[in-house]
Amino acid sequence: MRRKPPRLLTPRGTIHLGGQRWPASAIGATEFNRTQARRAPWLKEVADVWQRWQKGDEPGMRVTTSGTTGAPRLVEHSRKAVLSSVNDTLSHFELGEGTQAVLALPASFVAGQAMLIRALVGGWNLTLTPPSSEPTWQGPFDFVALTPHQAQGWIDRGEGSAGILLLGGGPVGLPLLRALLANPRVGEIWEGYGSSETLTHVALRHLREEADLNAPFLPLPSVSMKLNEVGCMVVHAPSREVHAHATQDCFGAHPDGGWRWLGRNDDVINTGGVLVHPSTIEQAFGAICEPWVTDWVAYGRPDDTLGQALVLRVQGSLPQSVHAADVASSWRSQLKDLVGTAKAPRHVEWGKIPRNKHGKALRRDLS
């Protein structure tokens, strides 16, 4: 049963690390900084965010963008805006005082800082675990936020359970969702859409079954969203001091309301005049590929005739009984049936897939 939203005036929470704990207060922040900050860079980041918030410093949050589509840059948000984002999350998920949560995200980025500040404001009991691609913790927790890349590492090799698992920072693929739905360590699964500029998620969707990967994202009550002339989302969240923020994310209006994510505008591949979102190909391939395939990505390669040729790169250990050319031909044939001949990959290649530390594919390193 979910707890009632907290009274935010006098929260009482704790921060846990190993066998130690600190009150979620200014005194706790000072002591944590004194005893833990020098142990590891990620602990210094936690200490800095914690101390800044307790001191009432402005801006309320300083975050670095992921750098997926350009050089990382600093984004600042006022305390008022941060509190609006925090309250949106506490209210939507009904996360009250005493919520047991895990911080497995780096506190240098928006999602990690938001988790820490939610705990401080909401009076949570927050357990810290080193941010990695294979996070782990002991026992059951009410609320955990991870990137899809982290979630795959956790479900494959980590321990602990999550009553509510919030995924963000990249699209959720079908193999991951299947693994999460089949695992008793996972309760509710939610996917958020947002960014550093919008102060984490501004829209959410509940993933109850595989078909929900085609379900729309629904904006939070404090948020409005609309498409611009090129089909990219524009976010308006005045309580977060976000005004007409133009993104590079392409969406389509869903007939039942909300918005269906199509992909990044700067990732769109123009192949012979046909515009293809690589996420569409990747999702379709996830439904047909064999279990020995461990990763895949679609990208555009310069082509004298087409402008860009659509390429599917696949990573995995090919079984001895399987011939690469035969399986590639089978995949291309199946994808033609799923997405149409014009959008199917012209080539299938094998090789490692470059990703950043958040798990996002670096397509430009391939093309």
State pLDDT tens for residues 303-344. Answer: 998 999 999 999 999 999 999 999 999 999 999 999 999 999
pLDDT of the residue at 14: 98
Q: Is the pLDDT of residue 1 over 50?
A: no
Strands 269-271 and 259-264: unpaired
pLDDT over 70 (residue 202): yes
Give the distance from CA 295 to its chain's centroid: 17
Q: 268-365 has which fold?
A: GMP Synthetase; Chain A, domain 3 (3.30.300)
Contacts 24+ apart (CB under 8 A), 143-147: 143/93, 143/95, 143/99, 143/100, 143/101, 143/102, 144/101, 144/102, 144/104, 145/104, 145/105, 145/111, 145/115, 146/104, 146/105, 147/105, 147/111, 147/358, 147/359
Q: Where in the chain is the domain with CATH 3.30.300.30?
A: 268-365
Is the pLDDT at 10 greater than 70? The verdict is: no
From 155, 150, 214, select the one nearest 182 (Cα to Cα): 155
pLDDT beyond 60 at 126: yes
Q: Say how far apart CA 132 and CA 71 lie, in whole Å.
A: 22
Among 17, 54, 21, smallest CA distance to 39 is for 17
CATH 3.40.50.12780 in the chain is located at: 14-221
Amino acid of residue 90: L
Q: What angle do CA 116, 189, 317 make, to 5 degrees?
A: 100
Q: Which are the contacts of 331, defined by CB distance < 8 A and separation ≥ 6?
A: 285, 288, 289, 312, 345, 348
CA-CA distance, 163 to 281, in Å (whole number)?
32
Q: Which residues, 6 or more positions from 223, have their beta carbon under 8 angstroms from its beta carbon?
A: 202, 203, 235, 236, 237
Quote the pLDDT of residue 71.
67
Query: Does residue 9 surpass a pLDDT of 70?
Result: no
d(CA 152, CA 134): 8
Cα–Cα distance measured from residue 345 to residue 335, given in angstroms and rounded to the nearest whole number: 8
pLDDT in tens, 130-165: 999 999 999 999 999 999 989 999 999 999 999 999
Note whether 78 and 241 are within 8 A (CB): yes
Q: Does the structure show a pLDDT above 70 at 297?
A: yes
CA angle 81/87/88 to nearest 5° reads 90
Q: What is the DSSP string of 74-117?
A: EEEE-HHHHHHHHHHHHHHHT--TT-EEEE-S-TTSHHHHHHHH
Q: What is the pLDDT of residues 68-91, one digit of tens each?
A: 555 678 999 999 999 999 999 999
pTM confidence score: 0.86
Say whether pLDDT at 7 is over 60.
Answer: no
Residue that the structure tokens 């939203």 belong to: 5
CA distance 156 to 153: 5
The CATH H-level (homologous superfamily) assignment of domain 14-221 is ANL, N-terminal domain (3.40.50.12780)
Query: In the beta sheet, which residues pair with residue 237?
Result: 242
- pLDDT given for residue 69 in this prediction: 54
Which tokens is 360 given? 């996002």
